[in-house]
Amino acid sequence: MRLRLITSLSLAAVLCAQPAAAGLFGNSDKQQDAARAAPPLSPQTQLPPAATDQLPEFHKATAAEIQTALRADPLAQAAFFANQFEHDPTDAQMGVYLSNAQRGLGRNAQAADTAHAVLLFAPRNVDALLAAARAHIADNNAFYAVDPLKTVTELKPKDWQAWSLLGVAYQQIKRPDDAQAAWAAALKLSPDNAAVLTNMAMAKAAQGDFAGAEPLLRTAAAQKDATMQTRQNLALVLGLQGKMAEAEKLLRQDLPPAQADADLAWLQQQTQGAKTAPAATAAPATRSWDSLKAAGS
């Protein structure tokens, strides 16, 4: 496991076509004549009804069924919500659930398409706008996330999540000043929010500003809702500054011994390399967080 900068279904509905009617697959005239000549079946030998007659009719999911589906794995969620959305393409909530499930499967482009399908008939649906933005960001197409997120900030100006995501989108398209401004707006709405602080910190870390990232991550890690990822990001930033004892303590808090050992070895490699590498070959401060991760793999 390598620590990541920013933690960002699609099951296409498969329609099984029924076989075409007799004679459409090139039956010979003799075969057709034989079929016409065959005597009708008696009532005792009638064939059972077609399989399609035995399928349960579609019904709109109940609230309980939706909650059960939301607790399922992404693949099961995608199948469930694809069925619902296919039968009622105007059900915005089913479309949003489907988009989120598709993104959970890593099918980000399809997740964006699904969200935009909802926006065709519900252009001001906040959940669909957020789903589209998240999918575009996950698909490394954050440029297309900016407008949906701006719309959300206009519709719900006190929604810190929209501002936080807008910061992520700006950072991805190399507009760091706009990103920091968006995150500052998010923090005004939700002070000391661990997710926002983590995003701000990791943007600084991606530019090589580990000292600037550290206090933000310390504050984030101290929050009640701080995640393991936030603590691991703090460990990474500490380790890359040579503060190995504290980094090790955080790593061993959340990771199994073998994984913690591997991450510590990687951090040691990075810090030793930085000390011994000539200035001309030292890693540039602007290298991305993903490239930092890849360097240790």
Q: How confident is residue 271, by pLDDT bands cut at 50, 70 and 90?
A: confident
The set of long-range contacts for 134-138, using a CB threshold of 8 Å and a minimum separation of 24, is 134/8, 134/100, 134/103, 134/165, 135/99, 135/102, 135/103, 135/108, 135/109, 135/111, 136/108, 136/112, 136/169, 137/8, 137/165, 137/168, 137/169, 137/172, 138/8, 138/103, 138/108, 138/111
Q: What local confidence, expressed as pLDDT, does residue 294 receive?
A: 29
d(CA 258, CA 285): 30
Mean pLDDT of the residues in the chain:
79
- Would you say 108 and 138 are in contact if contact means Cβ atoms under 8 Å apart? yes
What is the pLDDT at residue 192? Answer: 94
Token pair listed for 159: 């929604």
Q: Residue 39 has what pLDDT?
A: 44
Percent share of the chain, pLDDT over 70: 72
**Rg of the chain in Å (alpha carbons):** 27
- Which residues have CB under 8 Å from 170's CB, separation 6+? 142, 146, 176, 178, 179, 182
> What's the average model confidence in pLDDT over 68-74?
91
Least confident of 93-97, 181-185, 275-279: 275-279
Residue 263 contacts residue 250 (beta carbons within 8 Å): no
Distance in angstroms (rounded) separating the CA atoms of residues 5 and 292? 10
pLDDT for residue 297 is more than 70? no
Contacts of 113 (CB under 8 A, 6+ apart): none
Domain boundaries, the chain: 207-297
The predicted-structure confidence for 9-45, as pLDDT tens digits, reads as follows: 333 332 233 323 332 223 344 444 444 444 444 444 3
